[in-house]
Amino acid sequence: MIPALNILQTHGNQLGLTQPWQFFLTTGALSSVLDNAPTYLTFLSVAEGVAQPNAGGQLLTISEGYIGASYLIAISLGAVFMGALTYIGNGPNFMVKAIAQEWGYKMPDFFSYTIKYALPVLIPIYLVMMIVFL
Question: Tens digit of pLDDT per residue, the chain (134 long)?
Answer: 778 778 887 887 788 888 899 999 999 999 998 888 888 888 888 888 886 655 556 666 666 667 778 888 999 999 989 988 888 887 788 888 899 999 999 999 889 988 998 899 999 999 999 999 88
Cα gap 38→5, rounded to integer Å: 10
Distance between CA atoms of 33 and 82, rounded to whole angstroms?
A: 9
Q: What distances in angstroms separate CA 79 from CA 74, 76, 106, 107, one per listed residue? A: 9, 5, 29, 25
Q: How confident is the model at residue 28, as a pLDDT?
A: 93
Q: Quick one: pLDDT at residue 87?
A: 84
pLDDT at residue 74, rounded to an integer: 92
Looking at this protein, which amino acid is placed at residue 65? G
